Amino acid sequence: MSSSLSAQQLARFRQKLESHMATAEAAGDKQQQQQLQAAMTRLRAGEYGCCLSCGEEISAAKLAHSPAAELCNDCQSLADDSDG
């Protein structure tokens, strides 16, 4: 888990993930549900806030904007470049 995230921040991210999950379920958005469920699994496992590619910390600002984020900004940029 990202060492710079406080317990209070983690609680807020958990609430945000749950809220987003309810919205995704209501909309029938299966892909979003899977991404949010994966983020909840990472949170429970103590791995939330760490980039799945390089292991570095994902910024709290990015997680606040996109609580299911899997990649840090650098790895996301690389992924976006390779997709484009």
Does 22 fall in a domain? yes
**DSSP secondary structure string, 47-81?**
-TTB-TTT-PBPPHHHHHH-TT--S-HHHHHHHHH
Average pLDDT over residues 67-75: 96
Does 32 fall in a domain? yes
User: What is the domain extent for residue 52?
Assistant: 7-83
Does 2 fall in a domain? no
pTM (two decimals): 0.86
pLDDT in tens, 34-59: 999 999 999 999 999 999 999 999 99
Q: How confident is the model at residue 72 (pLDDT cuts 50, 70, 90)?
A: very high
Average pLDDT over residues 47-75: 95
